[in-house]
Amino acid sequence: MGRRKHKAIDTRAAPRVRVKLHIDGDAIGSGKVDLLRHIDRHGGISPAARAMGITYRRAWHLIDTMNSALGGPVVETEVGGARGGGARLTPLGHELIERYEDLAAQVAPATQPILAWLEKRRQR
C-alpha cells in the first residue's frame, strides 16, 4: 500500500467547527458535500475530481459511501452518447446539499462564542 499524504497543519488558522454526519459507520461532511457541488457545477465526476484535486477513483469511493449511508444514489451517470457521458445529482443528492447547508447555517451562530474564546486564548 502507498503512503498516505498528510495535509500540512497551519497552526495560525482560526479555530473552526465542521459539521459531520455519522451514519452507520460512514460519515458525510463538507468534503463529500463539496464533491456533490462540483459534480453539479461541472456535469461529471472526472472534472469534479480534477477541480478538487482528488482522483476519479477517490471521488467514486466518496460517492459510494454516500450512496450506502443514505440508502440510495446521490449521483446518476450517463455513459457515452453524443455529449460523451457525464453525471448529475439525483434529487437525493440535491436534498443532501440543501439539508447539510441548512444545518451548517444553524450551527455557525451557536459556535461563535466558543470559537471567539478559543481565538482569544490562542492570542495570549
Segment 23-68, tens digit of pLDDT: 989 999 999 999 999 999 999 999 999 999 999 999 999 999 999 9
Q: How confident is the model at residue 15 (pLDDT cuts 50, 70, 90)?
A: confident
Residue 22 is placed in which grid cell? 455519522
Helix ranges, the chain (H): 30-42, 45-52, 56-70, 91-122
Least confident of 6-15, 17-26, 58-67: 6-15
- Given a cut of 70, whether residue 1 has pLDDT beyond it is no
- Tell me what pLDDT residue 85 has: 74
Q: In 3D, which of 80, 79, 44 has the Cα closest to residue 59?
A: 44
Question: Which pLDDT belongs to residue 91?
Answer: 98
Task: Give the mean model confidence (pLDDT) for residues 72-86.
Answer: 81
Q: Which CATH architecture has domain 25-115?
A: Orthogonal Bundle (1.10)
pLDDT averaged over the chain? 89
CB 106 within 8 A of CB 6: no
